[in-house]
Structure 1
Amino acid sequence: METCLETSCKLLWMGLQGSGTDEIRGIVLNLVQPYDCEARWNTESFSKISQLRFLKLCDVQLPRGLSCLPSALNVVHWRGCPLKTLPLSNQLDEVVDLKLPHSRIEQLWHGTKLLDKLKFINLSFSKNLKQSPDFVGVPNLESLVLEGCTSLTEVHPSLVRHKKLVSLNLKDCKKLKSLPSKMETSSLNDLNLSGCSQFKCLPEFAESMEHLSVLSLEGTAITKLPTSLGCLTGLSHLDMKNCKNLVCIPDTIHKLRSLIVLNVSGCSKLSSLPEGLKEIKCLEELNASETAIQELPSFVFYLENLNDISFAGCKGPVSKSANGFFLPFKWLFGNHQTSIGFRLPPSALSLPSLKRINLSYCNLSEESFPDDFYCLSSLVILDLTGNNFVSLPSSISKLARLERLILNYCKKLQRLPELPSNMRGLDASNCTSFEISKFNPSKPCSLFASPAKWHLPRQLKGVLEKLRLPRERFDMLIRGSEIPPCYVVPPDVCHHEVDCYFFGPHGKVCISSRCLPPMEPCDPHLYIIYLSFDELRDIICKGGDCREIEFVLKTFYPNSCSSDTDGA
């Protein structure tokens, strides 16, 4: 392989020295690491190819360097370019697309270069790049990608005044701390600063930046947003996930009337959201998970188009013990605090578009829910994972459109109310206090994962009798050691996955696949699935005849990487 690559480089070099080079329009030498080609070409190898339009090189090394590029080039793609700067002794008047990802470029060019037709620059993952060039001579630039340029510390002021720049990607520029004081990029549509972990201060935004649609600030060090945020009237997506130092959002956010998605999840110091958000009628998704917000903001009930809301991990206010003298000894040296739960409003006003709520790990109890919770008539998915319920509020049974209820790790949960008639999925794994004798699964459920405390087979028989063959499907994962004797498995094997396949007119189709949750290697498990003939016919066969059903049990051994597959 290395000989072939070396030969290719030599042949290309010979071609560059021969006659007829003025007729060459394109060169492609696409190598893949680790087979880097070391081309010992003359520094002026390209000087004779005056009509070269397209140049694509991949991981081609030039120990002798390169002094010039053909002035007629339209496209330059050079992954792993070994040059420290681009040779522009002659002007590249025709270049439109310049892509040098994973290069060794330190400075793309020095001073001001006139590149009127250049529209696309990609220097992503060029880890030696320290500053961006002067863009005054690049008036038609539309896209600049500097993602992963981990040494970049400075952006030239001309960039934030560019009038035709549409997309600016500075993702994961770890050393970038700021941008010039004011942004006036009137055509900018997408600004990505996510992963710039030292970026502390956003510039002010000019009124002309009304076309900015996506602003990504995930993982930055910002503490606040400028009040000029309100100038971004075309903004539809604002992502501030994991901005750990963010403490507030300006009231001017109410001017963002086009905002559809607001993500402040993981902003652990953010304790409130501006009331002005109620004026953003088109907001569809609000994610405030893992923030310091203690109660559901009342403004959400004004957001008539809101369909997805998450306050997962918002624990609510904490109470402190009044008299430290009576605390247990192990608490005397710490500040003992107890969360009293995320606060929900006393009344659940209608949200006609709301389809999904995530209130997992919010320290909720049955009393946390308003009596009229059923007013959320469009709710389809309700995630209450990791809460403190002993029983669920009866109002949940009135959620007519609820299809999936998630109760994983509700370790105090003992019983369930009557489930809504439209329910198709119930996920209740690791509910270790659940009393199966009080569960009446008369409605069809696609999933129920039980705790290890079930007494089998007596209670299992009762559950199956209550089912009365639901129309669609029922499947159950039973964890623990009390599995009926007929289901005994070898002690050194742990089940990994159970698949159910149907062989019909259109070939083999997987109709159910169940991966086991985290477990001890030798935990035995039982997996039961019921599939009605109606479902096979209507959903899978589409009216065809059933030919064959296959169950496949995949297992792996805890002391090796090998796996076994058994079919039935």
Structure 2
Amino acid sequence: MKVLILDKSALLQIPDVSGLPNLETLSFKNCLHLVTIHYSVGRLGKLKILCAHGCPCLTSFPPLELASLEQLDLSSCCSLESFPHVVGSLGTLKILNVEGCSKLKNFSPLKLPSLEILNLSICESLEKFPPLELASLVQLNLSYCVRLDNFPPMVGSFRNLKILNFEGCQMLKNFPPLELASLEKLDLSNCSSLVSFPPVVGSLGKLKVFNFKDCPMLTNFPPLELASLEKLHLLNCDRLVSFPAVVGPLGKLKMLNIEGCRMLKNIPPLELTSLENLDIRNCDRLVSFSPVVGPLGKLKSMYVKDCKKLKNFPPLEMTSLEKLHILSCDSLVSFPPVVGSLDKLKILKVDDCSMLKNFPPLKMTSLEELNISFCESLESFPLLVGSLGKLKTLRSSRIF
């Protein structure tokens, strides 16, 4: 027999399986009453897949001497207090999932040279790690390990790592220098004690997605090379004073979202030739944008709201723009100077910009919705060049 499935059974213990030396897959997931596992499970030399997901009464595991194991799933074993003792190494293990083991407190030292995916999310009691050797690691998920205060000590580099997730690690304060040359996605959201960005050895030249949300202690970033970045989210970083110093262009960036960064004063010159969505909100001290290097020829949506001190925009070339919202920007005096036309613009909404005085002449032949409201200082209605044959909705209140 090579496969034994005991899922959702009423077993209190996994019996002796020493008579099944050829077993390659053993699963007993969602055994809600399972308390103990016979030691023979840990001695199945040909076992490749071991799944114990969702066994809430299981408090311990027998020692593991599983030379052929490739996948180990202990997720949602919410009473498990320690990781199984490993006899020798788990040299062939590729996937280790311990998600949701909320009472898991510690690990023994592990040598996992073939491990590619390590999921330790929602291990709420986990505080520290022993040294781990993870030379082949591709994905590391430590999200919502709320008691983890330091980055796990690793032997060697993270040269193959593509996804790194520390979302919700509220006690995490800092990182050691990291070599992350292959990293594609980085999530450090809700790390409320994080003071500084991880020191990076080399570049982040392959990083595509960068999430930084609710990091109120973070004040700045080191210079970063982000040539492949496609999405950048900086949200609710209350003490962030300056935008990340970017080395080289952001030529592949498609989405830029800056929200609730109340100390941020300016955005440096950026090359954003691939940008499609620009969203800036609740940046109370943002005074101005620096000139954009090159056109914003692919920009489709621009949303600026509650930037109370923003006075002006640089000239912008936005020939693909479809949606433009400028809301509650109390200090804005003039509409963004537009280079060329806005022929593809479908929605224009300017609301509660009490100091706005004028618009330049605008050509918006595709416009479907126009809303200009609560702009009490506006001297005249915008001069619209060309036809408005596609206009469906016109709203205007408390202007002039």
Q: TM-score, normalised by structure 2?
A: 0.81
1:188 is the counterpart of 2:183: yes
Alignment check: 8 A CA contact 2:335 2:360 kept: no
Work out whether residues 251 and 272 of structure 2, in 8 Å CA contact, stay in contact via their aligned partners in 1. yes
- Judge conservation of contact 1:150–1:175 (CA < 8 Å) in 2: yes
Which amino acid letter does the alignment assign opposite residue 356 of structure 1?
A: K
- Range with bigger deviation, 51-60 or 163-172: 51-60
1:211-230 equivalences under 5 Å are 211-220=206-215, 221-227=217-223, 229=224
Aligned to 2:3: none
- Give how far 1:254 is off: 4.5
1:8 aligned residue: 10
| Map of 1:271 onto structure 2 | 265
Please tell me whether the aligned partners of residues 115 and 136 of structure 2 are also in contact (alpha carbons under 8 angstroms).
yes
The change in CA–CA distance for 1:284 and 1:417 in structure 2 (over 3 A counts) is: closer
Residue of structure 2 in register with 1:162 after alignment: 158
Amino acid at match of 2:274: C
Would you say 1:128 and 2:93 are equivalent positions? no
CA 387–427 in structure 1, closer or farther in 2 if over 3 Å, else same: farther
Q: Could you say what secondary structure the match of 1:246 adopts?
A: coil
- Is contact 2:226-2:248 (8 Å) kept? no
The residue identity in structure 2 corresponding to 1:186 is A
Distance in 1 (CA, whole Å) between partners of 2:191 and 2:141 is 14
Deviation at 1:18, TM superposition (A): 5.7
Structure-2 separation of matches of 1:92 and 1:197: 35
**Deviation (angstroms), 1:314:** 1.3
Structure 1 counterpart of 2:71, from 68, 71, 75: 75
Confirm or deny: 8 A CA contact 1:391 1:416 kept in the other structure.
no
How many angstroms does 1:159 deviate by?
7.2
8 Å CA contact retained: 1:160, 1:185 = no
Question: 1:111-126 counterparts in 2 under 5 A?
Answer: 111=109, 113-126=110-123
State whether residues 52 and 70 of structure 1, in contact with CA within 8 Å, keep that contact through their aligned partners in structure 2.
no
Structure 2 residue ranges without an equivalent (≥5): 1-5
Q: Which residue of 2 is the match for residue 201 of structure 1?
A: 196
C-alpha separation in 1, matches of 2:131 and 2:392: 57
Tell me the equivalent position of 1:369.
Answer: 335
Q: Alignment partner of 1:88: what SS?
A: coil
Q: From 241, 246, 249, give the equivalent of 1:247.
A: 241
Separation of aligned partners in 1, 2:8 and 2:256: 53
Q: How far off its partner does 1:265 sit?
A: 1.9
Unaligned runs of 5+ in 1: 318-341, 435-568
- Correspondence 1:309 to 2:302: yes
* Aligned position for 2:94: 96
Q: How many residue pairs align between the two structures?
A: 386
**Take 1:190 and 1:370, find their aligned partners in 2: how far apart are those partners?**
33
- In structure 1, what is the equivalent of residue 312 of structure 2? 343
Compared with structure 1, are the counterparts of its residues 310 and 63 closer, same or farther at alpha carbon in structure 2 (3 Å cutoff)? closer
RMSD: 3.6
Shift of 1:424: 5.1
User: What is the CA deviation profile of residues 178-221 of structure 1, one whole-angstrom value per residue up to 9, with x for unaligned ones?
Assistant: 111x2212221111101111111013323343222222111113
Quick check: 2:312–2:336 contact (8 Å CA) kept in 1?
A: no
Q: What SS does the corresponding residue of 1:315 show, helix, strand or coil?
A: coil
The 8 Å contact of residues 413 and 433 in structure 1, kept in 2 or not, is answered as: no
Higher relative contact order, chain-length normalized (CA < 8 Å, sep 6+) = 2
Q: Alignment partner for residue 143 of structure 1, among 139, 144, 167?
A: 139
Contact kept, 8 Å, 1:295 with 1:344, in 2: the verdict is: no
SS of corresponding position for 2:327: coil
What's the counterpart of residue 228 of structure 2?
Answer: 234
- Alignment of structure 1 residues 349-364 onto 2, 5 Å: 350-363=317-330
Shift in CA distance, 28/417, structure 1 to aligned 2, threshold 3 Å: same
Letter in 2 for 1:258: K
Instruction: Report the counterpart of residue 379 of structure 1 in structure 2.
Output: 345
Q: Cα distance, 1:223 vs. partner? A: 0.7
The DSSP-based 3-state class of the residue aligned with 1:46 is helix
Q: What CA deviation, in whole Å up to 9, does each residue of 1:477-511 have, x standing for no partner? A: xxxxxxxxxxxxxxxxxxxxxxxxxxxxxxxxxxx
Change in CA separation of 1:356 and 1:293 when aligned onto 2, cut-off 3 Å? farther
More helix by percentage? 1
Give 3-state SS (helix, strand or coil) of 2:52's partner: strand
Does the CA-based 8 Å contact 2:21-2:46 persist in structure 1? yes
Measured in 2, the distance between the counterparts of 1:298 and 1:381 equals 25
| Structure 1 residue matching 2:72: 3-state secondary structure | strand
Give the CA deviation at 1:47: 3.6
Compared with structure 1, are the counterparts of its residues 39 and 250 closer, same or farther at alpha carbon in structure 2 (3 Å cutoff)?
A: closer
Following TM superposition, by how much is the alpha carbon of 1:6 offset from its aligned partner in structure 2, in angstroms?
9.1
1:297 aligned to 286, 289, 297, which one? 289
Shift of 1:373: 8.7
TM-score by length of 1: 0.59
**Change in 2 beyond 3 A, CA 1:185/1:293:** same
What letter is aligned with 1:266? G
